[in-house]
Amino acid sequence: MLFLLPELPSPRVDALLAQARREGLIAHAARAQGGRWRLSLLGERSACAAFARTLAAEPLPCAEEDEFLPLASRALDPSDRAVDFDGVSIGDGAFAVVAGPCAIEGEEQLLAAARAVREAGAAALRGGAFKPRTSPYSFPGLGRAGLELLARARAATGLPTVTEVVDPADVDAVAQHASVLQVGARNMQNYRLLEAVGRAARPVLLKRGLGARLDELLHAAERVLAAGNPNVLLCERGVRSFETATRCTLDLGGVAWLKRRSRLPVLVDPSHAAGDRALVPPLALAAAACGADGLLVEVHPAPERARCDGEQSLACEDFARLMERLRAVLAALGRTLASAPPLPAAARSRV
């Protein structure tokens, strides 16, 4: 819960914080606009309500209901949060591109994609080992064998890796092989999975559900944060609407809203939004222009032979052209691309 209190002397505010903490609440106070104190309380609603009744002044609830999102919103800390992993930082002002195949199909395919996206300027590699497909007859991914290939690709190219986890039982195994744990759109409100990745030691990339509101995305992120994991990346990947010309409708207004409302970094996935590789570059450039912190782009060495989402995957040479255009857009905005970590010495002669 969040309250705006009239001007009070600091000792009185300190006493209120001490009282709240004695009652088992997490309490924080900061100066708000106009000189008022912004008092944030985290705990059971009944306990927060009971404490509120003890306040000498009548509390004024925040109009944006920050009381329900003390960790994902800017209520306790208005500053932007950067998420760091394996030599890459997302949310520090630089624009990070995570690219690679939708599904890991084999070592040759994955290494070809990884080397191509690194050469073009990507900061990290994406690749799906577990694929929750709509049809039970579609390629489901290589599973744990795919995780091993992902680890080899990282060793060969130095790129940190992002891959999806779909089952709480697999969180530890995926965390041993990947730099970032992705929770896909279909699992955005899988609360057991959110709590499991919240207990993991890896950052979490949380995709917005196909029919989820923005506040529901933030509540899902709050569940991960409340479980103990402070490193959460949000991802807008398009929502299902009445429009059928594109696979989904990319909500770039939602990206701007999230950047204003939340301190968490926001990525955009133009590939799943478009469903058509010809639309991926303009959507990617628009994402950079609207203030996103980075992209998640599908790239395949031979999209026409891809076993998953080939129609929306860029060929390696098309991705390289997109990156050149992206540099120009970012330069106009006074921004730069985030860099990949240095190439491992043992791999320099092979990449």
The residue-averaged pLDDT of 220-236 equals: 95
CATH number 3.20.20.70 given to 83-347 = yes
Q: Are 158 and 166 in contact (CB under 8 A)?
A: no
Q: How far is CA 74 from the centre of its chain?
A: 16
Q: What are phi and psi of 31, to 5 degrees?
A: -70, 130
Q: Which residues are paired to 207 by β-bridges?
A: 235
Helix 214-226 / helix 252-261 crossing angle, nearest 10 deg: 40
2-5 and 26-31 strand pairing = unpaired
Tell me how far apart the 2 most distant CA atoms of the chain are, in Å. Answer: 70
pTM of the predicted structure, to 2 decimals: 0.84
Boundaries of every domain in the chain: 2-68, 83-347
The CATH architecture annotation of domain 2-68 reads 2-Layer Sandwich (3.30)
Phi/psi of residue 73, each to 5°?
-90, -170
Pairing type for strands 60-61 and 2-5 reads: antiparallel
Q: Which of 34-43, 217-226, 337-346 has the highest mean pLDDT?
A: 217-226
What are the helix (H) ranges across the chain?
10-22, 45-52, 107-120, 144-157, 171-177, 191-198, 214-226, 252-261, 270-274, 280-289, 316-332
Residues β-bridged to residue 2: 40
Q: Is the pLDDT of residue 192 over 90?
A: yes
Supply 184's token pair. 């896909």
Question: What are the φ/ψ torsions at residue 98 (nearest 5 degrees)?
Answer: -110, 120
The single-letter code of the amino acid at 343 is L
pLDDT of residue 1: 56
Q: Which of 87, 147, 149, 93 is CA-nearest to residue 123?
A: 87
Tens digit of each residue's pLDDT (9 = 90 or more) over 68-106: 677 898 876 788 999 999 999 999 999 999 999 999 999
Structure tokens at 160: 């940190």
Closest CA relative to residue 98, chosen from 180, 198, 184: 180
For residue 67, what pLDDT is reported?
46
Radius of gyration of the chain (CA): 22
Average confidence (pLDDT) over 8-22:
85
Residues 182, 165 contacting (CB under 8 angstroms): yes
pLDDT range class, residue 345, cuts 50, 70, 90: confident
Asked whether the CA dihedral 257, 259, 264, 269 is positive or negative, the reply is: positive
pLDDT per position as a tens digit, 256-271 = 999 999 999 999 999 9
Distance CA 105, CA 141 (A): 7
